[in-house]
Amino acid sequence: MDARRESEATPMKNRTTVERKSERELVVTRTFNGPARIVFEAWTKPELFKQWWVPKSMDMFLRSCEMDVRVGGRYRLVFGHDASNPAEFFGRYIEVTPHSRLVWTNEEGGDGGPVTTLTFEEKGGKTLLVLHELYPSKKALDAAGTGAADVMKETFEQLDELLVALGASVGR
Amino acid sequence: MVQYLRARLDASFAALSDATRRGVLEQLGRSDASITDLAEKFHMTLTGMKKHVGVLEQSGLVTTEKLGRVRTCKLGPRRLEEETAWLERYRQLWDARFDELDKVVEELKRKEKVDGRKKRE
């Protein structure tokens, strides 16, 4: 409720929410101050997509971006300053409904990749964007969240503390 | 160790999947509270709140301590941060992206307006 009040008070900056809806699903939502056709365009035209996908605060460089936005069409994003050491993200579009719905696979990680469903809901000139990621298993989503080496390291560092705390609660 | 960690994360995510339990965690983040306080705050029966606290306690997100007849609940040590840290990082990534997307949307809206004007002329 606070969030709603906040976004009304400052219409220019809408809130991004991320929620783990279930063991296998992550949902990201955000409202944009423009019609669905414009937001859809920004997601499906490489020259526009490139302008926002890598925020300036991120130390990443989008080398190339190919999108064949039609059912069965493929996309490929290549990151990295160094051509010899690229990071690639790719998959294919399963559903394409102009201005309202896009569904694509994420295949760079093999079978563990999620299927992403993006919906554009226009209301009063604004568009609610809902990005839904469905992982093939709970394990795959857990791995996406905790798999990064730095996160694991941090978590292990905290594990000793946790064990002490658990020991204390068992002992009670 | 990894198995153990996974099991702990599972329990925590299950605990976090409920809006009331997330509310309880938020509340306990502000100050410790008894089960009676929490039940009142969330308009619940004592039994209902005991169940929620039980789930939170099992996941390690909350610890409770009985002093006399009152059971006081408090946040478990650093548990919430640990589990929500990656979700928060993920949110920040999207938030930063979407701030940039806002700019693209504004630019496209501006262009549409200009083009529309040209067409009418």
pLDDT tops 70 at residue B90: yes
Q: Which contacts qualify for A97-105: CB closer than 8 Å, 24 or more apart?
A: A98/A37, A98/A40, A99/A36, A99/A37, A99/A40, A100/A36, A100/A40, A102/A40, A102/A43, A102/A44, A102/A69, A104/A75
CB B52 within 8 A of CB B21: yes
Distance from the B62 Cα atom to the nearest Cα atom in chain A, whole angstroms: 10
Pick the most confident of A76-80, A127-131, B19-23: A127-131
Distance from the B84 Cα atom to the nearest Cα atom in chain A, whole angstroms: 10
Distance from the A7 Cα atom to the nearest Cα atom in chain B, whole angstroms: 14
**CA atoms in the 13 A half-sphere facing the CB of A33:** 15
Of A42, A148, A161, the CB nearest to B105: A42
- Contact list in B for residue A47 (CB cut-off 8 A) is none
Of A48, A55, A131, the CB nearest to B96: A55
Q: What is the pLDDT of residue A141?
A: 83
Encode pLDDT of A69-128 as tens digits.
Answer: 999 999 999 987 776 777 889 999 999 999 999 999 999 888 778 999 999 999 999 999
- On whether both A112 and A159 belong to a single domain, the answer is no
Q: What is the pLDDT of residue B78?
A: 54
- On whether both A146 and A63 belong to a single domain, the answer is no
Q: Is the CB of residue A3 less than 8 Å away from at least one CB of chain B?
A: no
Distance from the B46 Cα atom to the nearest Cα atom in chain A, whole angstroms: 22
Distance CA(B72)–CA(A94), nearest Å, equals 52
- On whether both A142 and A65 belong to a single domain, the answer is no
- On whether both A16 and A74 belong to a single domain, the answer is yes
Question: What CA dihedral angle connects A96, A97, A103 and A105, to 10 degrees?
Answer: 0
Instruction: Find the mean pLDDT for residues B84-113.
Output: 89
Distance CA(B115)–CA(B121), nearest Å, equals 10
- On whether both A97 and A151 belong to a single domain, the answer is no
What's the one-letter identity of residue A100? S
pLDDT tops 70 at residue B46: yes
- Contact list in B for residue A142 (CB cut-off 8 A) is 6, 9-10
Q: What is the pLDDT of residue A160?
A: 41
Structural domain that includes position A146: 138-172
- On whether both A132 and A142 belong to a single domain, the answer is no
- Contact list in B for residue A2 (CB cut-off 8 A) is none
- On whether both A44 and A73 belong to a single domain, the answer is yes
Pick the most confident of A8-22, A64-78, B3-17: A64-78
Instruction: Indicate the pLDDT class of residue A154, thresholds 50, 70 and 90.
Output: very low
Instruction: Find the mean pLDDT for residues B97-115.
Output: 93
pLDDT tops 60 at residue A158: no
Pick the most confident of A109-113, A149-153, B106-110: B106-110
- List the beta bridge partners of residue A79: A62, A87
- Give the β-pairing of B33-34 and A126-134: unpaired
Best mutation target among A18, A32, A116 (most B Cβ atoms within 10 Å) is A18
Phi, psi angle pair for A143, to nearest 5°: -65, -40
Tally of domains within chain A:
2
Sequential DSSP letters for A116-133: EEEEEEEETTEEEEEEEE
Q: In this structure, what token pair is assigned to residue B35?
A: 């089960």
